[in-house]
């Protein structure tokens, strides 16, 4: 007897992928990777990365990474709960807890994994989750994967949040989740207002301060940090691959939260720990951030300079007081034209389109850092002004 014929062709999945890829190209949503080199022949001036304090290529941080790898190996070799938790990991967790004014902190391999781990641990299928509409994808995905009832409130709208919380049943636990600094808009959450709303409505508050840690606060403790207690913000997430120039993430909070994550967070339990050398590098970056506050001062001066000059040029800036300075262009083709023009002029600036941002809000994401010189910013503004002039002339 001949074997039964398959009900579908093995090429069906491939055909579906090809159709999706074709739509992606047609809609001007195709994403490309650029292979960067530290010493290219024609260097692009970086206005795209999240290396806010310029620590990713600081030789002191690089040497701490190399020295740590030489002493303890290139990798941890196991998960934290087997034998991949080194003394340097413990030292880093303690340092991060101190920085943020929390009793404890727990390291994760990436910010995405930290957010998934928190939401999977706190959401048991009955916990009701309330998220800002513009939260990072990892927060939205975390709630979906946790399969908890989830609602999204209007961006930074405390009245809408309170309305949703009041309508929710009293019995299930309630968790309110927000970015600290919104990564594609550059604006910040009203943490004080969120905390007060949560306390009135009996909800926990989780803030992902990935883009605030190291940049905001007098000591670089972020938007939340020492200003808000664990009672006000029980769950604080931060990353290490932005202002601190290394990689990884952490969650800071009280003993109950950290113990629960250690016991139940699958993205923590079932993955290899961060390389010990990277933890050494992060500790060195924290030292530099603390000892050289002029980096933050310089960065904030750049922000003020850029905004004043861009507004004088009539560029459609979005409202932001952080290093993320979006220029709202709206149309996918338009944002790609401007991005290409910037690249041809020697500038790397991110072109952000749907689904990263809502349809019709495509933008250039200009990111400032402490290593920029005034001449770099002036040159960027000159190119932006030229692109605006060319576009007006052609219309």
Q: What is the pLDDT of residues 192-226, one digit of tens each?
A: 999 999 999 999 999 999 999 999 998 999 999 99
Q: Is 262 annotated as a binding residue?
A: no
Say which residue the tokens 């074709």 belong to. Answer: 22
Q: Is 68 annotated as a binding residue?
A: no
- Which of 37-46, 134-143, 219-228 is the least confident region? 37-46
Residue ranges and CATH numbers for the domains of the chain are 59-290 (3.40.640.10), 293-394 (3.90.1150.10)
Regarding pTM above 0.85, the answer is yes
The three-state (H, E, C) secondary structure of 193-248, written as one string: HHHHHHHHHCCEEEEECCCCCCCCCCCCCCCCHHHCCCCCCCEEEEECCCCCCCCC
Find the mean pLDDT for residues 284-295.
98
* pLDDT tens sequence across 237-253: 999 999 999 999 999 99
Q: Is 356 annotated as a binding residue?
A: yes
Encode burial over 153-182: b for 16+ CB neighbours within 10 A, e otherwise. Answer: bebbeeebbbebbeebeeeeebbbbbbbbb
Q: Is 183 annotated as a binding residue?
A: yes
Say which residue the tokens 């219309």 belong to. Answer: 395
CA–CA–CA angle 47, 53, 57 (5° rounding): 80
Q: Is 112 annotated as a binding residue?
A: yes
Query: How distant, in Å, are the alpha carbons of 134, 143, 324, 363 from that of 357?
Result: 8, 19, 14, 9
* pLDDT tens sequence across 71-96: 999 999 999 999 999 999 999 999 99
Give dist(CA 162, CA 168) in Å, integer. 10
- List strands edge to edge, sheet with 350-352: 324-330, 362-367, 350-352
Q: Is 322 annotated as a binding residue?
A: no
Residue 56 predicted with pLDDT over 80: yes
Q: Is 52 annotated as a binding residue?
A: no
DSSP conformational letter for 181? B
Give dist(CA 55, CA 246) in Å, integer. 8
Q: How many CA atoms lie within 13 A of 48 on its CB side?
A: 17
Tell me which of 321 and 172 has the higher pLDDT. Answer: 321
Q: Is 84 annotated as a binding residue?
A: no
Residue 163 predicted with pLDDT over 90: yes
């Amino acid at each position: 007897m001949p074997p039964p014929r398959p009900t579908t062709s093995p090429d069906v999945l491939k055909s579906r992928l090809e159709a999706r890829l074709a739509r992606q190209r047609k809609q001007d949503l195709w994403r490309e990777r650029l292979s960067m080199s530290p010493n290219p022949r024609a260097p692009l001036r970086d206005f795209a990365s999240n290396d806010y304090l310029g620590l990713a290529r600081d030789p002191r941080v690089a040497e701490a990474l190399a020295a740590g790898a030489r002493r303890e190996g290139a990798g941890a070799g196991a998960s934290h709960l087997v034998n991949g938790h080194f003394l340097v990991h413990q030292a880093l967790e303690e340092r991060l807890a101190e920085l943020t004014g929390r009793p404890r902190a727990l390291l994760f391999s990436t910010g995405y994994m930290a957010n998934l781990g928190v939401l999977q641990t706190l959401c048991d299928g009955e916990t009701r989750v309330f998220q800002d509409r513009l939260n990072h994808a990892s927060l939205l995905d975390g709630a979906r994967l946790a399969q908890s009832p989830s609602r999204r409130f209007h961006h930074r709208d405390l009245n809408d949040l309170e309305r949703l919380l009041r309508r929710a049943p009293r019995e299930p636990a309630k968790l309110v989740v927000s970015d600290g600094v919104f990564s594609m808009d550059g604006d910040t959450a009203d943490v004080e207002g969120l905390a007060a709303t949560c306390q009135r409505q009996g909800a926990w508050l989780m803030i992902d301060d990935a883009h605030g840690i190291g940049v905001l606060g007098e000591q670089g403790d972020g938007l939340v940090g020492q200003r808000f207690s664990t009672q006000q913000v029980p769950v604080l997430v931060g990353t290490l691959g932005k202002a601190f120039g290394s990689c990884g993430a952490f969650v800071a909070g009280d003993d109950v939260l950290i113990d629960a994550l250690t016991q139940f967070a699958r993205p923590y339990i079932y993955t290899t720990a961060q390389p010990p050398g990277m933890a050494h590098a992060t500790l060195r970056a924290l030292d530099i951030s603390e000892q050289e506050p002029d980096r933050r001062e310089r960065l904030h001066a750049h922000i003020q300079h850029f905004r004043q000059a861009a507004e004088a040029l009539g560029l459609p800036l979005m409202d932001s007081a952080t290093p993320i300075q979006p220029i709202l262009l709206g149309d996918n083709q338009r944002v790609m034209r401007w991005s290409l023009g910037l690249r041809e002029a020697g500038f790397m600036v991110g072109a952000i389109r749907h689904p990263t941002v809502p349809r019709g809000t495509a933008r250039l994401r200009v990111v400032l850092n402490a290593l920029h010189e005034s001449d770099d910013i002036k040159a960027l503004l000159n190119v932006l002004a030229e692109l605006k002039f060319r576009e007006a002339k052609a219309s």
